[in-house]
C-alpha cells in the first residue's frame, strides 16, 4: 500500500510539472503577437528560440514571459514583415543588444574566448596535471660528494661516529 501511495505521488508530481511547464510555454507568445502569415510566424518562432531573454538569461524569448522578451518577439516579427532575412534579424538584434543576445553568437575576434575559452581552460588543466604528476614521479638525485667531503666522511666512519644528517621536515627542525 505504501509503495502505491509513493508511486501515485510521484506520478501526480510529474503530471503537475508537465502541466505547469506547458502552461508557461503557451503563455509566452501571446495571441496579439502571432502573425497572420504561417510561414513568417514559423520563421519568427525559430528565430525566437535562438535569441536569449536578457532578463531570464538562459531562456529563449520564445518561452519567456518577461516584458523585454515580449518586446523582442515583436521586433523579430516586425523585421520579418519588413522583409528581413533570418540573418538580418539576428544581426539587427546583436547590433542593438550585443552578441550575448544570441545563443549561438557569430565567430569573430571579439567572441574568440567565448568559443575557445573552455577548450583553453581544459588544455591548461591537462598540462598542469601532467606537470604535477611528472614532477612527483621524478626522483631528485643528490650531487656527488667532493673529494674533501669524501675524506671527511671516511674519517668519521673510521672514528666510529655516525655522519651528521641533514634536517628534514619529519623531525620538525631537530637533528636526528
Q: Determine the Cα–Cα distance for residues 93 and 75; give it in Å rounded to an integer.
A: 9
pLDDT score at 173: 47
Q: Determine the Cα–Cα distance for residues 23 and 17; give it in Å rounded to an integer.
A: 10
47-86: pLDDT as tens digits: 999 999 988 878 999 888 889 999 999 999 999 999 999 9
Residue 175 lies in a domain: no
Tell me whether residue 97 is exposed, middle or buried, using C-beta atoms within 10 angstroms of its C-beta: 0 to 12, 13 to 18, 19 or more.
middle
| Residue pair 144/138 in contact by the 8 Å Cβ criterion | no
Residue 123 lies in a domain: no
Q: Determine the Cα–Cα distance for residues 86 and 89; give it in Å rounded to an integer.
A: 5
| Residue pair 47/62 in contact by the 8 Å Cβ criterion | no
Residue 67 lies in a domain: yes
Q: Determine the Cα–Cα distance for residues 47 and 69; give it in Å rounded to an integer.
A: 13
Domain CATH for 64: 1.10.8.640
C-alpha cell read off for 24: 508557461
**Predicted TM-score of the model (pTM):** 0.52
105-143: pLDDT as tens digits: 888 887 788 788 889 999 999 999 988 888 766 566 677
Range of the domain at 43: 24-106
Residue 65 lies in a domain: yes
Check whether 6 has a pLDDT greater than 60: no
Residue 168 lies in a domain: no
Domain count, the chain: 1
pLDDT score at 108: 82
Residue 15 lies in a domain: no
Residue 164 lies in a domain: no
Residue 17 lies in a domain: no
18-49: pLDDT as tens digits: 655 554 444 577 777 788 888 989 999 999 99
Tell me whether residue 115 is exposed, middle or buried, using C-beta atoms within 10 angstroms of its C-beta: 0 to 12, 13 to 18, 19 or more.
middle
pLDDT score at 176: 44
Amino acid at each position: 500500500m505504501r509503495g502505491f501511495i509513493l508511486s501515485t505521488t510521484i506520478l501526480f508530481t510529474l503530471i503537475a510539472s508537465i502541466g505547469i511547464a506547458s502552461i508557461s510555454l503557451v503563455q509566452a507568445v501571446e495571441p496579439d503577437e502571432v502573425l497572420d502569415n504561417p510561414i513568417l510566424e514559423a520563421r519568427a518562432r525559430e528565430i525566437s528560440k535562438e535569441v536569449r531573454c536578457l532578463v531570464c538569461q538562459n531562456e529563449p524569448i520564445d518561452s519567456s514571459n518577461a516584458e523585454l522578451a515580449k518586446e523582442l518577439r515583436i521586433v523579430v516579427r516586425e523585421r520579418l514583415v519588413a522583409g528581413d532575412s533570418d540573418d538580418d534579424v539576428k544581426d539587427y538584434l546583436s547590433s542593438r543588444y550585443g552578441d550575448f543576445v544570441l545563443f549561438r553568437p557569430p565567430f569573430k575576434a571579439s567572441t574568440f574566448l567565448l568559443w575557445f575559452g573552455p577548450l583553453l581552460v581544459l588544455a591548461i588543466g591537462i598540462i598542469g596535471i601532467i606537470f604535477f604528476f611528472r614532477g612527483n614521479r621524478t626522483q631528485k638525485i643528490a650531487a656527488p660528494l667532493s673529494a674533501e667531503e669524501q675524506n671527511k666522511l671516511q674519517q668519521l666512519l673510521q672514528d666510529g661516529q655516525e655522519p651528521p644528517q641533514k634536517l628534514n621536515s619529519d623531525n620538525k627542525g631537530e637533528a636526528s
